[in-house]
Structure 1
Amino acid sequence: MIDVRSFDSLGGADHGWLKAKHHFSFASYHDPARMHWGNIRVWNDDKIAAQTGFPPHPHDNMEIVTYVRKGAITHKDSLGNEGRTEAGDVQVMSAGTGIRHAEYNQEDEETTLFQIWILPDREKLNQPPSWGAKPFPKSDRAGSWAVLASGRDGDSDALRINADARVVGATIKAGESLDYELGGRNAYLVPAIGSVEVNGEFANARDGVAVAELDSITIEALEDSEIVLVETA
């Protein structure tokens, strides 16, 4: 099953400094048909104005993955972690028993990002909180998948999350294709840029593609494309 969710159909909010589109129910946007996909609870497409951001606020028992598309985001948290994550790179915060953090765009340009929340495995609830970030050069994922964040043993180069899930990224040139093996697991993917076909179903930039009950998918790029995909139970 493949369900393409157009960007225009997503929920959203405009706070002036923050313009957000929500792939799943979030804050004041509620759609009973779009509460989650597998263990993915949130996928927000955010635009954050220069020199603005989210003041300190708490989270617990959630794996929060931030994929920066343009600009940079600066993180500070109650554990004393500080870091700047720029376009193409990824940060992960495992909220665990509880953490407070702030996320600011301290740049002189707009920052755009995907923020993805994944529910932790039941047996991994209430773990000590943590934060980490890592560069993932786009040249290293040209025509192939790079594992950006993962809870699987063996994905040793990825940022760690407390969930049976993988966050992967790839860039695909127009006219080329890339397969991903799912083995019947759930997946949700979004082209950050470019238009693609997923098993023949068309998706434009920033559309969401929900996949279930398939052993594999083939993503064909109709334009030069950058893909972010989350695979979960």
Structure 2
Amino acid sequence: MIERRTFDSLGGADHGWLKAKHHFSFASYGDPKRMGWGALRVWNDDTIAPQTGFPAHPHADMEIITYVREGAITHRDNLGNQGRTVAGDVQVMSAGSGIMHSEYNLEQDATRIFQIWIIPDERGRAPSWGTKPFPAGDRSGRFVALASGMDGDADALPLRTNARVLGATLKAGETAQYTLDKRRYAYLVPAKGVVEVNGVRLDTRDGAAIRDETSLEVKALEDAELVLVDTSP
């Protein structure tokens, strides 16, 4: 089962400095049919104006993955962590027992990110943060684990949940395969480009809610950049 969720159908908010689209219920947007997908709870598509951002605020017991699509995001937290994550790279914050953080676009142009929240397998662990570069060439024509709590993904940023976040870049006409356990849930979004997933067309920034599938064949109809989450029910 692959349910296409068009970009135009997503919830959203315009705060001036922040233009957000929500694949799932978030903040003032509520849809009882879109409360999450397995352990995946949030997928926000955020555009942040230059020299603005999210001031310090708390989180607890959530795995928060930031995939930077354009520009860069600068992170600071009360653990003393500070870092700048640029387009194509990823940061992971395990909120654990509690963390206070800020996320700012200190660049001269807009920053565009996917913010993905996944429910952790355990609560109350010590919070942590990390970032890592993932060169686009390393995931050319194939899915590569960017963040993971599953076996065999030693090069990915660690997650405290039975899930993985993957990325791929495809040239027009290329195809990538991904094997999926039929019991698990997947959600795929093209950050750029147009693709077909098992024959279902997805335009840029559409979402595909996937379950009861054992394999995915993703064909690029034009040059594409993909983000895929594979998670437990």
TM-score when normalising by structure 2 = 0.98
Per-residue CA deviation, residues 163-204 of structure 1 (Å, 9 max, x unaligned), is 000000000111111111002111000000000011101110
What is the identity, as a one-letter code, of the residue corresponding to 1:154? G
Question: Sequence identity, in percent?
Answer: 66
Runs of 4+ in 1 over 6 A off after TM superposition: none
SS at match of 2:33: helix
Partner of 1:145: 143
Aligned pairs, how many?
231
> Could you give the per-residue CA deviations for residues 25-72 of structure 1, whole angstroms, max 9, x where no partner exists?
000000000000010000000000000000000000000000000000
Residue aligned with 1:34, SS: coil
Instruction: Tell me which residue corresponds to 1:198.
Output: 197
The question of 1:97 aligning with 2:97 is answered: yes
Which residue in the other structure is 1:2 paired with? 2
Partner of 1:133: 131
List alignment gaps of at least 5 residues for structure 1.
Answer: none
Indicate whether 1:176 and 2:189 are aligned: no
Inter-partner Cα distance in structure 2 for 1:119 and 1:204: 27
Task: Using the TM superposition, give the Cα deviation of residue 153 of structure 1 relative to its aligned residue in structure 2, in angstroms.
Answer: 2.7
How far did 1:222 drift?
Answer: 0.3
Aligned counterparts of 1:188 and 1:156: Cα–Cα separation in 2: 22
Aligned to 2:163: 165
Q: Which residue of 1 aligns with 2:73?
A: 73
Partner of 1:64: 64
**How far apart are the structure 1 equivalents of 2:127 and 2:226?**
28
- Please list every run of 5 or more consecutive structure 2 residues that lacks an aligned counterpart in the other structure: none
Q: Supply the RMSD in Å over aligned alpha carbons.
A: 0.5
Name the TM-score, length of structure 1 as normaliser: 0.98
1:144: Cα distance to partner?
Answer: 1.1
Within 5 Å, give how 1:36-55 maps onto structure 2.
Answer: 36-55=36-55
For residues 158 and 45 of structure 1, the distance between their equivalents in structure 2, rounded to whole angstroms, comes to 22
The whole-number CA distance in structure 2 between the counterparts of 1:23 and 1:153 is: 28
SS at match of 1:56: strand
- Deviation digits for residues 3-38 of structure 1, max 9, x if unmatched? 000000000000000000000000000000000001
Aligned letter for 1:100?
M
For the residues of structure 2 that align with 1:12 and 1:75, how far apart are their CA atoms? Answer: 23
CA distance in 2, matches of 1:154, 1:231: 14
| 1:16-35 correspondence runs (5 A) | 16-35=16-35
